Amino acid sequence: MQGTVSTKHTMTTNHINTLDGLTTAEAAKRLQRNGSNEIAQARTRPIWLRLTDMLRQPMFALLVTASLLYIFLGDLTEGLTLSVFVLAVLALTFYQEGKSEKSIQALRQLTQAQAKVVRSGQTMHIPAREVVVGDWLLLSEGDRIAADGRLLNANNLQIDESLLTGESVPVNKQAATLNTESENDGDTVHAGTFIVRGQGLAHVTATGNRSQVGRIGQSLSELMTETTPLQQQTARLVKVLASIVIVLCVTMVLTLGWRTGQWLPAILSSIALAMATLPEEYAVVLTIFPALGAHRLTHAGVLTRRINAIETLGAISVLCTDKTGTLTQNRMTVTALAVKTNNSTSNGTILTWHPGLSVLAEDFHALVEHAILASAPTPFDPMESAFHALGQAHLASTEHLHADWSLVQTYALSPELKAMSHVWQMNEGPERTVSAKGAPEAVMDLCHMDAPARLAWSHQVDLMAAQGLRMLAVAQSRFLGDDWPDSAHEFNFEWLGLIGLTDPLRHEIPQAVAECQTAGIRVIMITGDYPATAKVIARQAGLPEGETLTGDTLDAMSDTQLQAMLSRTTVCARISPHQKLRIVQALQATGEVVAMTGDGVNDAPALKAAHVGIAMGARGTDVAREAADLVLVDDNFASIVRGIRVGRRIFSNLQKSMRYIFAIHIPIAGIALIPMIMGWPPLLLPLHVALLEMVIDPSCSIAFENEPADASVMQCPPRDTAAPLFGAGAIALAMGQGLCVLTSVALTDVLGTQGWSTGFALGSWTADLGWPPQSATHTRAMVFITLVIGNAALILANRAKAGEFWTSLRIPNPTAYAVMGLALGFLMLAIYWPWLAKPLQFAPLTPLPVVMAMGSGLLSLFSATLLQWAFAKFTPNRT
């Protein structure tokens, strides 16, 4: 380990090193005694509350009303049968809602924060909910603080406490004195706040509901549940349909009551009409699809923090991605060094080294030594780990490694100075060593390099960057005493040389980038690297040729100029995190739907502003993850592309399901409405609607949610976010498909009615096969067979794209076929089992009526598929 860490006006180094923290056993006892470090959240809704919520929905309210009316009229059998069906529909809905809630709860568990504590003298990473009072909590830049505590050690510590105070300006924090027993010593830190700079050590004093944020009663880990744009669109559509239904139902009650004088049966018929017409399944699919889709995204390596992002995934038109760790493997290796024999002038020879040279010459020792000293003593960053590894390989037997030195001051990387400096205490004397590393141009400024030297070294940077190396420069200085300057610029730095690191491209990136281009998604690589390095990586990744925008150029541009520039830019280099926000806003101003990746504290504003903010799960900070909509488990760009594919699949299946729902309600409404208009006996009773609900609900949710992605899902341009999910064209197509099924149902009804009422026969041979039907109950059974076959036809027709029906049959969806088979099987049970047949007013059928009813239903498959093809051919822009 390279030295130890202490800070000015804080605890001594020796005191920190003696902290053992709680033992693991004691921590477990406290966790069991006091409970987990979690703020009480709304519990899962109890069954009675879920039941109450369901009964508020129009469909269930109508079903319960109808069953009570049957019982009131004295028809106990039909009333109880309808009640059984109501319970079955409730059970199915309970199952669907429960599956949805379990998916969201699983996501919430996956996005739990972590904490770093000292226990039994060991540093441990544990779930934040396991932190207990008395723990020693290690704090690092970007962390969300897990519990309230008292600072014992602080190093340039700044905390964003806007969650509690509303103030966006970070607060500087000071540590305790040596008297650690006093609860009044040292500033306090609070659970839920974020560290924006520095490091620290805190003694935990309150957890869970006993923390300040717990007392306020906020919950920081809930997923967002606000109404989505799709839900708002659908709510407007349902309101329009509900208004029409109310008018129709009132008309039906008045007409039938006036015509027959039987008002209660008229009310039952109007209830059947209302249930047949209202597409209440929309609320089901708009809840289930995003929730199960979010769960499905986890298998693609993407965690969903905000369900609303599911809607936007398929509409992304520009994907702004980091380079390091997202396009590359984030496995840094030092592959080039460059030093000068005479650093004071521009003259002299630049010496280079590469790993092929087994021996590291003495000329390079100081460069590697100070690169290590300018890094964290216990490195986490892969780049700093590479410096330490190089030092252990080549400097282990030299005087250039300093395990006994103490880090006494740091100057962090900032937007104004893209370099960091460390001040080291070498012994008890006043002399201090200062080491700096950072962007070559920043270190040149620190060294106050003259123009000729700057020109020579800039040329060397270009040569090394052209090989795709990540470039850093290193410098050193000396200082006396502890009265350190406010800025690293005030040290007298000496230039040491350049270090080039290789970070290999992930092997799957070129294919993922090519898939984005095919899908009409423009990829912009954003990096803090040198422009030449960034362009090499962009070429390796397969990004198209385009302009390279640097941070300095960006700052000099107006918003209009930046918008024009970004339209032809593929690489943004030397970009600071705060500049990402301006890039996002400029792209959004031109109408693009922007996804932005990020991992640091300063990336949070850009992640929040983007349509889809994507944080890194492995190397990302808590701040970035809190601001993001999605979190990449493996930090891999290819996972983003897989997520977009899943998002497009979810949206496509949602459209198919909504088209199906609208279409299937057309024949059901027709069966309820036409007999009333024509003065015929009603075919459809509330009991039948309950039976159909048991067919429609699993069809629209389970069957379509499990539909595999279309083969061309990533070959289509991003969808237009301004276009409605279920627009006029889709409504017209669904209405046409529904009329196709209604026509088949009408054909079956005419054949059956003519058969039993007039003795109409197809020939003498048909009598042996049970033709003609003998009663209206036989005809009703035939009509429902046709309707169930028509339901299957609508599922199959809406699974397929226009002209690709036969292709769609080869795409496996066992769930859809199971739903169709079970629906037909249950109907046959209802027809042939007397206990169900009597209340449903069905009669058992002989083979020929069954075959004719099925054949009529298959006609609807042909006509609906043909209509879909014609609609796509002659109105290609209306769907």
pLDDT at residue 10 is higher than 50: no
Q: Where are the alpha helices (DSSP H) in 621-703?
A: 622-627, 637-678, 686-698
- pLDDT tens-digit map of 575-607: 887 899 999 999 999 999 999 998 876 788 889
> What pLDDT is attached to residue 772?
62
pLDDT at residue 797 is higher than 70: yes
CA distance linking residue 641 with residue 426, whole number of Å: 50
- pLDDT tens-digit map of 738-792: 999 999 999 998 888 765 544 455 555 455 555 666 678 888 999 999 999 999 9
Q: How confident is the model at residue 347 (pLDDT cuts 50, 70, 90)?
A: very low
CA distance linking residue 373 with residue 597, whole number of Å: 31
Strands (E) in 517-604, as ranges, are 522-526, 547-550, 569-573, 594-598
Task: Calculate the alpha carbon distances from 413 to 40, 161, 469 in Å.
Answer: 38, 22, 21
> What pLDDT is attached to residue 143?
82
CA distance linking residue 83 with residue 66, whole number of Å: 9
- pLDDT tens-digit map of 498-545: 999 998 899 999 999 999 999 999 999 998 888 998 999 999 999 999
Q: How confident is the model at residue 449 (pLDDT cuts 50, 70, 90)?
A: very high
> What pLDDT is attached to residue 11?
38
8 Å CB contact between 860 and 741: yes
- pLDDT tens-digit map of 460-493: 999 999 988 989 999 999 999 888 898 899 999 9
- pLDDT tens-digit map of 228-248: 566 666 677 777 777 877 887
> What pLDDT is attached to residue 13?
38
The pTM for the full model equals 0.74
Tokens 């500033």 sit on residue: 187
List, as own/partner pairs, every contact residues 414-418 make where C-beta atoms lie below 8 angstroms and the sequence separation is at least 24, other chains included. Answer: 415/576, 415/577, 415/578, 415/602, 417/442, 417/445, 417/446, 417/487, 417/488, 417/489, 418/442, 418/528, 418/574, 418/576
> What pLDDT is attached to residue 719?
85
Query: What's the distance, CA 858 to chain centroid?
Result: 41
Q: Where are the alpha helices (DSSP H) in 261-306?
A: 263-277, 281-298
Least confident of 9-23, 379-393, 531-545: 9-23
Q: Please give the structure tokens belonging to residue 68.
A: 């009570």
Of residues 667 and 603, the one with the higher pLDDT is 667
pLDDT at residue 182 is higher than 50: no
> What pLDDT is attached to residue 172?
80
Region 664-675: mean pLDDT is 86
- pLDDT tens-digit map of 673-720: 888 777 777 787 777 877 787 778 777 778 898 899 888 889 989 988
Q: How confident is the model at residue 811 (pLDDT cuts 50, 70, 90)?
A: confident
> What pLDDT is attached to residue 63?
62
Query: How do beta strands 594-598 and 630-632 pair?
Result: unpaired
Strands (E) in 346-460, as ranges, are 350-353, 406-411, 419-425, 431-438
pLDDT at residue 177 is higher than 60: no
